[in-house]
A = this chain, B = another copy of it.
Amino acid sequence: MNTTTLTALAEPNRLHIIELIRDRGPLTIGDIANRLELNQPQTSKHVRVLHEAGLVEVQPAANRRIIKLRTEPFQELDHWLESFRSMWDDRLDRLDEYLRDIQGRDHSD
């Protein structure tokens, strides 16, 4: 896992920006600033960090910039988490194994 993704997400305002776009779809800097009650300069700065981290795509449209989510970093994070999933999947795996065991068991005795 690379830490730039995590560092970008670790700042509360940036995390809010990400979740806002996830929920509302692509937004401009001004939209984001309004909805999250941030000043425009700080919003630009945070979006810059998100963009440099590859979390976000920036589409110039005349005067404005439309900010979209990119999928790759989240996929990477998801993939990284797979290496941990066995920690809490064990219980389910055992249940699964148990059920398959039940299925094939000889019930004749």
B84 in contact with A74 (CB, 8 Å): yes
User: Majority SS of interface residues in chain A?
Assistant: helix
Of B3, B10, B81, B87, the contact of A69 (CB 8 Å cutoff): B87
Of B10, B78, B81, B83, the contact of A3 (CB 8 Å cutoff): B10
Verify if A22 is at the interface (C-beta below 8 Å from B).
yes
Q: How many copies does the complex hold?
A: 2
In the bound complex, what is the Cα–Cα distance between A71 and B83 (angstroms)? 12
15 pairs from A and B in contact (CB 8 Å cutoff): A1-B15, A1-B19, A3-B9, A3-B10, A3-B12, A6-B6, A6-B9, A9-B10, A69-B87, A71-B84, A74-B84, A77-B81, A78-B81, A78-B84, A81-B81
Interface residues of A (CB under 8 A from B): 1, 3, 6-7, 9-12, 15, 19, 22, 69, 71, 74-75, 77-78, 81, 83-85, 87-88
